[in-house]
Amino acid sequence: MTAFRTLDDIGDVRGKRVLVRVDLNVPMADLKVTDDTRFRATVPTVTELADKGAIVLLLAHFGRPKGVRTPDQSLALLTIAYGHVLGRQVRFVEDCVGPGAADAVAKMEPGEVAILENTRFHAGEEENDSALAAQMAALGDLYVNDAFSAAHRAHASTEGLAHLLPAFAGRAMEAELRALEKALGNPERPVAAVVGGAKVSTKLDVLGHLVAKVDHLIIGGGMANTFLAARGVAVGKSLCEHDLASVALGILDAADRANCTVHLPYDVVVAKEFAAHPASLRTCNVHEVAADEMILDIGPAATEALGDVLKTCRTLVWNGPLGAFETPPFDAATVALARTAAALTQGGSLVSVAGGGDTVAALNAAAVAADFTFVSTAGGAFLEWMEGKTLPGVAALERQEDR
Ligand code: ADP
Ligand code: MG
């Protein structure tokens, strides 16, 4: 397990100024927060530090202001809503660096929490400017990173700062890193990966990395069509990247060499038009798709067989829905396989980790997210981790261990 320090190692924080990088980038409509999942993820770390008497200074970005102070992307807009979720009063400090911020911080008492203004109001944030990171560091004694979802970016507040202060992983970051380690870093075998979603082109690096790592690669969604077509199957009007045929064959070859079994569907759900419960809906063998039909989900026989594969596995990592799940009944395979994975997890035979924007939506729709071992809401960072990339925000925490 890669080593990083956590809040267990932070020592006495009473009266210390702790800069905590969090993800407060919540969706808003009409000045109201529409989904406070990201707020809730920060609560354990912030509560723990405040209860121990730290002066908690939250660093976060909001939107893409690109170095310009834009009032509608001020974190002031979120401070009250965030305080409600945290269950305590939260101050707002009008900048994340500089003398004004230093004055405001100097007036804070142990146990108090403040949100510092949007880090991306400074161009140096996204440039990982060392001078900006040094100005941030001047406001604090310790640094905690609790924003896994921003860890794939080497920015001043996510990476640069970790080199300037004693750095620790927050509780949410710690949970995420441990879950990901269990799923792909050092997993119990056999390992299965489900990769679905619309297009092969967006997940080439994911597929390339996984074939060398997992024992079973289950390919579903639109990208399965590209693999089927590459093998000479007629996929009709299906979403399919015909120009990626040789790339798909290359992935299948690499899987063969690595002893990774690739599972492509052998029955599919097709329709002539993409709509909810269309009249032309039918289930057929993959070799029977007509020229005017499109594949919109994996069929029930294949889904059952995939469930049997999962029963032989100890670990599952899942990114991407198996069908066009937003439109019923093309959610059937995703829901059924997710239920199987959830039941195996609850039965204690499977460690299941899932992530990806649409994947999380599909698991929530199937009401099984809570029964998975871990569901990552990190989006881009989760995918980069599935590609086997080193996340700079995580690497900066690891280096701290060596000091
Ligand atoms: P994630 O956000 O979890 O990484 P993706 O964005 O890669 O997932 O893919 C999700 C999208 O793939 C969904 O919008 C879904 O409708 C689409 N999709 C899945 N299967 C098919 C299919 N057979 N035909 C067309 N679209 C599909
Ligand atoms: Mg998506």
Q: Which of 104-108, 199-203, 381-385 holds the top average pLDDT?
A: 104-108
Whether a cis peptide bond, with omega within 30° of 0, leads into 300 is no
Please give the Cα distance from 141 to 143 (Å, whole number): 7
> CB of 221 closer than 6 A to ligand 1?
yes
Q: Is 376 in the pocket of ligand 1 (CB under 6 A)?
A: no
Mean pLDDT across 176-200: 93
Active site residue 379: no
Neighbour-count burial of 89, counting CB atoms closer than 10 A to its CB (0-12 exposed, 13-18 middle, 19+ buried): exposed
Nearest ligand, CA of residue 360? 1
CA dist., res. 152 & res. 14, Å (int): 31
- Tokens linked to 165: 């202060």
Mean pLDDT (the chain, rounded): 95
- Cβ pair 19, 143 in contact under 8 A: yes
pLDDT of residue 215: 98
- Residue 141 is encoded by which pair of tokens? 């004694």
> Considering just the CA atoms, what is the radius of gyration of the chain in Å?
23
Give the C-alpha separation, 301 to 168, whole Å. Answer: 48
Ligand 2 centroid to residue 206 C-alpha, Å: 14
pLDDT in tens, 363-378: 999 999 999 999 998 8
Q: What is the pLDDT of residue 377?
A: 85
**pLDDT of 12-62, one tens digit each?**
999 999 999 999 999 999 989 999 999 999 999 999 999 999 999 999 999
Calculate the CA dihedral of residues 167, 173, 179, 181 and round it to 10 degrees: -30
Q: Evaluate: CB of 321 within 6 angstroms of ligand 1.
A: yes
- Could you report the per-residue pLDDT of 290-332, keeping only the tens digit for each? 999 999 999 999 999 999 999 999 999 999 999 999 999 999 9
Ligand 1 pocket member 377 (CB < 6 A)? no
Q: Is the pLDDT of residue 1 over 60?
A: no
Mean pLDDT of 268-272: 98
Residue nearest to atom 14 of ligand 1 (CA): 324
pLDDT at 2 over 70: no
Does residue 343 line the site of ligand 1, with CB under 6 A? no
Euclidean distance between CA atoms 197 and 298, whole angstroms: 12
Is there a contact between 145 and 162 (Cβ–Cβ < 8 Å)? yes
Residue 328 Cβ inside 6 Å of ligand 1? The answer reads no
* Ligand 1 lined by 355 (C-beta under 6 Å): no
Stretch 102-126: mean pLDDT: 98
- What is the distance between the alpha carbons of residues 393 and 151, in angstroms, rounded to a whole number? 4
User: Within a 10 A sphere around the Cβ of 109, how many other Cβ atoms?
Assistant: 8
What CA–CA distance (Å, rounded) separates 390 from 171?
20
> Which of these is catalytic: 38, 52, 91, 171?
38
Options 69, 88, 199, 272, the catalytic residue:
199
Q: How many residues does the chain have?
A: 403
Residue 400 has pLDDT above 80, yes or no: no
In this prediction, residues 2-13 reach a mean pLDDT of 92
> SS3 of 343, please?
helix
- Told to judge if 199 belongs to the known catalytic residues of this protein, a careful annotator would answer yes
List the structure tokens of 279.
């009249």
With a pLDDT cut of 90, the percent of the chain lying above it is: 93
**Could you tell me the two tokens for 225?**
């069509």
pLDDT value at residue 398? 87
| Active-site annotation holds for 120 | no
* Ligand 2 midpoint to CA 356 (Å): 6
Longest Cα–Cα distance of the chain, Å, equals: 73
pLDDT, tens digit, 9 for 90 and up, residues 70-90: 999 999 999 999 999 999 999
Least reliable range by pLDDT among 92-96, 185-189, 263-267, 340-344: 185-189
The confidence band for 399, taking pLDDT boundaries of 50, 70 and 90, is low
Residue 17 CA to residue 245 CA, distance in Å, equals 55
Ligand 1 center to 214 CA (angstroms): 22
38 is catalytic: yes
Looking at residues 101-115, what average pLDDT do you find?
A: 98
**Which among 312, 332, 327 has a CA at the least distance from the CA of 263?**
312
Q: From the candidates 185, 208, 357, 388, which is the catalytic residue?
A: 357
Q: Which atom of ligand 1 is nearest to the CA of 324?
A: 16
